[in-house]
Amino acid sequence: MGAAFGVTPTWVYPREPVYPVIITASENFKKDYQLLDDNSQDIYDLHFDGISDAVRNTIAAHRAGVSGGYDNFVWTSVPSYLNAGTTMTVRYVRGSYNEEPRARSWEINFAFEKDV
């Protein structure tokens, strides 16, 4: 497990839960949906606005330290409005990382998926 992530985001938006489903063809040529598991995949979009170079470097170093999404780690700054507890075991969602430079700060967006 990777190092804990404790940078507080500007806001966090929970996505709709994703359930693992297989779509197969049935005898009457309609799609047949089969639920593989009752547990949903919870994904959270994090937004950091107006952060300094030092905080940006901290986030980039953490992301590199956990292999960009392959390793799990503990998220220690979970906002209370998510009603998900104070810590959560998560990993980065591949392809979700985006950073944009501003005049004197950075704007960074990425997503975490909860480990089940």
The tokens describing 57, both together, are 């470097």
pLDDT digits (tens, 9 = 90+) for 76-114: 988 888 877 788 899 998 889 999 999 999 999 999 988
1 vs 62: which has the higher pLDDT: 62
Give pTM, 2 decimals.
Answer: 0.79
Using alpha carbons, select from 115, 67, 68, 69 the residue that is nearest to residue 88: 115
100/37 Cα distance (integer angstroms): 37
Per domain, the residue ranges of the chain are: 11-114
pLDDT digits (tens, 9 = 90+) for 13-63: 998 888 888 887 777 777 777 777 777 788 999 999 999 999 999 999 998
